Structure 1
Amino acid sequence: MGTGNWLNSGRQGSARTAEAELPAKPSPDVVIEHLRKILDSAAFRGSKRSQAFLSYVVRSALEGRAATLKERTLAVEIFGRSEDADLAEDTIVRVGAREVRRRLAQYYASAESAGDTVHIDLPPGSYTPEFRNVAPREESPPACPTRATRLRSRPLVLGLAAALAVAGAWVVLIRGGALRQGDAFWEPFLASPEPVLLAVAHPLVYHPSARASRLNAERNPAARGLLQQPIQVPAELLDGSDLIPVVDQYVGYGDLVAAVQLASYFAPLGKPPRIRLASRLEFADLKESPVILIGAYTNRWTIELTKDLRFRFWRTPDGRAAIEDSQPPATAWALPANRQDGLTEEDYVLLTRLVNSTTGRPLVLVAGLKHFGTEAGAGFLVNPELRAQVLSRLPSDWSRRNLQVVLRARVYGNSPARPEVLRWHCW
């Protein structure tokens, strides 16, 4: 990396001359000492994952193991992935490297780096760090503007202030007041320097076997075309081997709509989220950023992280999906019936907001018993007027507490109606 990318252009020539007199590379002991300072800086101390990433690659390079710094090695050694992990789908190493580069840039732009004589780079497209000696950066006091300069700049400052005011008013109007009381609900997410992580449910889907598809084509001429057709084969001709489980390739429609609604809410506020299948996330991933869990029985982390809460997912003795109130008197809200076509006339939704969950980060759950409820619940969360139905009833310090809400939504065809609040719990 050229010094012109980060040195003040007015001092560029003299800085290059100074660096030319320095040794080409710092000693390993000096690099390790500099690494410790970086890891303890404001830019890094809030992210254990970035600390582990930078520490591993720096120490590996200093110990002569730079050739081993490949994506799969880092996935296994730093993030605990298996040797056969699909790294085309799981981008945790690439995301981690980008985050480390961002934090390094933040550190070297801060006052904490003043006086440093060593610089650590992680070049784009590489996981091998580079070390170099640099001249200590001098802090120059800003020049005091003359009265004429101040007068000339005043219209520009006023213009910028007016533009910012208009932009701020526009956001408030667009959000219908979301940036006032409503966003107190999302404040822990908006205040985090890390991007919000949307962990989407991963339903298990069964494909017909090649044999079942052949039998279907023999009996149903329409199945020989390009458009997918249902299997219409007598049951006695099929067995369990004709149902092939397919994992991590499908998302429920309501879950998809929920993810789009939430992403559309956060993006204009400068927090575009990352979207991942929950099945591809380890617990360590959940500890690195605020998380929104989407979906219930098909989301591994929803079931795990809510099992000890007051409201939790359950199944009735006859196998129907339900939300249970674990406090006496026992109450459960269950689907009316188990229909084979997957449809229902009503759905129930569990919303959960944990300010400091077991992950150590803020967590929100939106999950219906079916995907209809999940879609309705996400619409509730991004609509300040709907949220006010609950928030207006809560204690004044509710924003610092945990919250659970149970909703009911009527379903017409494949579309959920606006949900109604059944019960809430704030602690």
Structure 2
Amino acid sequence: MADAALRLKDLVEQLLGAPLPLRIRAWDGSQAGPPHAPALVVHNRRAVRRLLWRPGELGLARAWVAGDLEIEGDLYTALDLVAGLVWERGEDARSLLQALRDPEVRAALRGLVRFAGPPLPPAPPREEVRRRGHLHTRRSDKRAISHHYDVGNDFYEIVLGPSMVYSCAYWPAPEPDSTLETAQRDKLELVCRKLALTHGQRLLDVGCGWGSMAIHAAREHGVSVVGITLSHEQAAYARKRVADEGLTDRVEIRVQDYRDVADGPYDAISSIGMAEHVGSKRYLEYAEDLFRLLKPGGRLLNHQIGRRPRRDESAYSVDEFIDAYVFPDGELAPVGATVAQLERAGFEVRDLESIREHYALTLRRWVANLEAGWARAVRLTSPGRARVWRLYMAASALAFERNRIGVNQVLAIRTPTSGTSGMPLRARTWN
């Protein structure tokens, strides 16, 4: 058949109820769609079978990770065009079910089934998580963290650059004049200033990653730091960095669950890009544990990605692609829900700063790093894993830019019974 692209284009447009803004180039050499638009390259019939067996985001993700689909042209432009159809048209599952009632669409699907090849579902790519057991137990959290962070320290060095900070940087204006490393240093310093760290204090860094926050706080502010992570690879890397900096007397890196920390109280706690892993059912427990570990008057800086709230929160479901390939068991909550849980745990929330645009800029730099080191990244992991990260980070950059998701720094205090918070009357002295 020499018209696969045209038939695919017609079917997609019937399902969407709108013109397809991308070109399609199919395995038989045929092309259809706007001639100057980025192309969705469908390499084989297996891509179609993946979509037939799992319509929607997960089927597309499996085809992308397996290399059955790719984008020819600018990735951001292609994703932005698709986002305009999906994100702004509401829940695509409802649209799909409605389209399937159309006799013409059902006829087109029958034709698609006939030329898609053997009627067996292709096996998911090996990079996909296999679910086992209950969510957010100590064991399942450790397994989820290992899937995401134990990809290899060398791989993360390619993506993150020398700073090895895996969270939103803090960019000056104008942004093009700053390096990623400078912006990440500025973010770490911003956290330290919000926590009002002073020489001799104890800091707990929850989800310490590769040790960047712990090292910065100890070196620049003279505090003693305990950094905890569930990733053995991260811990080994962080310990070496601490030793190389000559800070082993002030920084301890542990492989430990936050629920098992028992050596409080601490003067301050930083949690940067970790709380997304906690889960809504465990979030109050997380907040209560951090409250317990702080001394009266101590400060918590909770840096966390949040999603936009929905009118019907009961209808919220996690992103299938991210859950299966990127952050297993991760959940995003609206910032209002996060603040409410912190307050329920006993914290007084004193400041909230949204730095959404900063994360979009950071992700675009990470994508550029990955693309520049693509061949090595593939050798260190797998072609599928590298494709997961490229798609995930590029799509996330657009989600931040379009205000689909945000990132917030919440400063909270374990206010003493006297009510003396220790906060200055003009709080934002860190700006």
TM-score category of the 2 structures, normalised to the smaller one: under 0.3
In proportion to residue count, which structure has more helix?
2
- TM-score w.r.t. length of structure 2: 0.22
| Structure with more contact order per residue of length (Cα contacts < 8 Å, sep ≥ 6) | 2
The structure with the larger Rg is 1
Per the normalisation by structure 1, the TM-score is 0.23
